Structure 1
């Protein structure tokens, strides 16, 4: 699992109560009711993780974007 997949899974688990982001081919396992405030928290966590990644990137990495 890539670092990004690990991060997204961790956010889904901590903010949305979703065990995995893997498709399990079952409606009861693949579809979730999520409160809007939980969704907002998850989106904010992902955004902040992106900011942190950008701050920690090497200057040469930033020049290539």
Structure 2
């Protein structure tokens, strides 16, 4: 069960996966075709940069 505080993080990770890696779901579906994805190195770099930037924004004082 996902804790309420984890929901925004899950949503952010899902959005990064969709926007940068073109992965529609991060839920394990027990299917090689659905659970394993071939992605380019530039897409991985882009996703990592987005995650890093999200962390930087979250760490800024309000």
Could you state the TM-score of these two structures normalised by the residue count of structure 2? 0.87
**Structure 1: which 5+ runs fail to align?**
59-65
**Structure 2: which 5+ runs fail to align?**
none
Q: Which runs of 4+ in 1 moved over 4 A?
A: none
For residues 10 and 29 of structure 2, the distance between their equivalents in structure 1, rounded to whole angstroms, comes to 16
Q: CA RMSD in A?
A: 1.2
Number of residue pairs aligned between Structure 1 and Structure 2: 57
1:20-51 deviation line (CA, Å, top 9, x unaligned): 10000000000000100000000000000000
Larger radius of gyration: 1
Which residue does the alignment assign to 1:50?
A: 55
